[in-house]
Structure 1
């Protein structure tokens, strides 16, 4: 398999983990209030945590071994900072097409940063709630989960607005692509799938 030397931020493993995170959070949120689904709720929560760990590891490994460059916090801040510096003191431009494009892109990046901050807090609060049965921790867990949902809605809104303004469906690159992948990307993707399958097998055995 030929190596991909492009600076892609959406390689195969990024797409896989993106889908897993979507499904895990959706499953966890929908089963959060049903006592009979508590074990499934916890499994989704742990899967969310494992996916986050794999995503962080990939952030450091991808550029060294897979020749891809997943977007990190600094790259996302580099989108937000120029927008704030340019438009913060220029309210007369807030309805211009250029402003709307920059605003939707910045909100999109901000929503991703928010999601990655809230994800570990939500998972950790859920784990501690299950371990201690503390009502206060349960309320904190629900607060983080609702804030996470808010960032997801912001993410989808910004993505939709940006896609309309640019006349291009931007979401498709997070679900499929035509570029080739290095052997390390394929290996890491299969390994990540194996880790998640093994966890679910172990958890319910």
Structure 2
């Protein structure tokens, strides 16, 4: 039987090749989330730093909202394609299907590369699931002064930390196996950025600065 093969037009092939998943705003929000979580975790047990702790927590929440909005607007106005949940599952699912019932391959280099990549994606999913839960539990704890909610907040914060540590471990292992420092793409890059990306970066920075000035006024 004759089979017809579909081939994309050259325009779309070129467009897909130039679509980046890591742009300037993604890098900015990544750094803000790192600094905010570190600051919130270090000030969590100090009563005299409670206001700063809450400010870091709210900054995490604002950063998450900006990141979700950027997921929607970036492909339409900035010509970039931030990684979505479905793309991360597309890395994890084939790994599980291939290796789950093949323990004899669990020490092979191929398995370790696939495992580190899958754990890396899983850790990101964990971070983005636990971030809103941690912030919400912290807000409710501060609002109600409930000891039970405080324990829930601490549990989510520790699970958040575990996801971050898994993220770093998987990134390090994957970098060693591939002999390439993969973290650099999250801090700098040589690609050009659209005017909309630069505008959104300035706007996001303005929102965060305005929040801190308002919160401590």
Q: TM-score range by the shorter chain?
A: over 0.9
**Structure 1, unaligned stretches of length 5 or more?**
none
Offset at residue 152 of structure 1 (A): 0.2
The reply on whether 1:123 has 2:135 as its aligned counterpart is yes
1:194 to 206, 209, 213: 206
The reply on whether 1:6 has 2:14 as its aligned counterpart is no
**TM-score of the two chains, using structure 1 as the length reference:** 0.97
Give the number of the structure with larger relative contact order, counting CA–CA contacts within 8 Å between residues 6 or more apart.
1
Per the alignment, residue 181 of structure 2 pairs with: 169
Offset at residue 7 of structure 1 (A): 1.5
Per the alignment, residue 156 of structure 2 pairs with: 144
Rounded to whole Å, the distance in 2 between the matches of 1:195 and 1:6 is 30
CA deviation profile, 1:13-35 (whole Å, cap 9, x unmatched): 00000000000000000000000
CA deviation profile, 1:149-192 (whole Å, cap 9, x unmatched): 00000000000000000000000000000100000000010000
Rounded to whole Å, the distance in 2 between the matches of 1:146 and 1:73 is 23
The reply on whether 1:109 has 2:121 as its aligned counterpart is yes
Rounded to whole Å, the distance in 1 between the matches of 2:153 and 2:21 is 31
Per the alignment, residue 23 of structure 1 pairs with: 35
Offset at residue 122 of structure 1 (A): 0.1
Give the SS at the match of 2:96: helix
* The structure with more radius of gyration: 2
**Structure 2, unaligned stretches of length 5 or more?**
1-16
The reply on whether 1:77 has 2:78 as its aligned counterpart is no
* Cα RMSD (Å): 1.0
Rounded to whole Å, the distance in 1 between the matches of 2:81 and 2:175 is 23
Rounded to whole Å, the distance in 2 between the matches of 1:73 and 1:134 is 33
**TM-score of the two chains, using structure 2 as the length reference:** 0.92
Give the SS at the match of 1:111: helix
